[in-house]
Structure 1
Amino acid sequence: MLSLCLSLLESDGDRALFREFHGRYERRLYAVALGLLRDPRRAEDAVQEAMVHIAGHFDQFKKIFEEDCLKIGPWAVIIVKHAALDLLRQEERLAALPEHWEAQAAETAESEDGYRRLVELIRSMPDRDREVLELRFVREWEIRDIARRLSISETTARKRVDRARARLVAVLRREGYEHGK
């Protein structure tokens, strides 16, 4: 992986700087990714994605490094967090709302139809809304767990859930569904 990153760089000076950066920060970035992903293999994937991103944006790296070399670490941590969260989102999208969960909650044919329509509506919502609705109401996660998963504060997670729920309720009302019916 290091050789791939080095091949993206143009000069020997850039390659030497990247090697130094890689040696100094790889373990730290791995620890951050592992904390989010809880899986060593996926954490390694996130670090690789982050390192390739950094090598691909090395002009930005050098600019930050020249302004204040102490900002490189936090900048790289942000990049690896985004890589890890992208992996989580990608896996969640692939595993989101398995087909068999629809029928589990339905008790009658009428309630099953309503439940299926609700599932369709959740699936059709923008990713940001769909994700928090699934985590909160389908998987029944606590707000603190949603916040941790999305790397946001609990207040922000609560607001996202409330806003997504309000948008879902608005869609349901437009389709003629009323609360409690």
Structure 2
Amino acid sequence: MSAFWITLNFVVLLLALYLILNLYQRIRILQHDLSSRNSEEAEKYFAEHIEAVRMENEQFLSEVRALLMEQTTERTNVLKPKRRRKAGSEAKTAAPKTNESGAEESDHSFAETLNNAELVQSTEESVSRKADASVPFKGNTEGWVPPTEDIQDQIEESPYLKAIKLKNKGYTVTEIAKAMNRGTGEIELLLKLQGKVQF
């Protein structure tokens, strides 16, 4: 009978070991699937984020280009009267150009104005930086200044000096403690320091 229970116990232990190993393998497979799913989702979200950033950058670049175009057109409009005067004197001596060369010239002039706008902007920034660096800090010259008439300086004596003055006037330790609103032990300590502290 005992052999039967031993074999039954052995079979149950083997079955339990098999189930534990099987569950362990399933858990590892599930963890692997979950981690791969998480990494795929992270890659997906990262790709979406990169795409959104790229679109924002493209929109920003288009707005910057539009601003540069506006600035160049404003500058060219300001410079047109000067160019017209020069062009008027040159037009008298030069022959009219064909349409093809005019189109090429307008494309070429747009590139030049864009480059000139970038050069002007960079020189303006460098000039403003130099101007900021050369001007010393002057502080708040135009801003609010606090009123100084109402300010009164107050000089307070140290507790040590007060105790010595009261002692020299003939007050006792308890009277000095009451006058200074301090403890008698503290006043005694301050008076003991009288000979040790030099002014």
Question: Do they superpose with TM above 0.5?
Answer: no
Of structures 1 and 2, the one scoring higher in RCO (CA 8 A, sep 6+) is 1
Bigger radius of gyration, 1 or 2?
A: 2
The alignment's TM-score, normalised by the length of structure 2, stands at 0.22
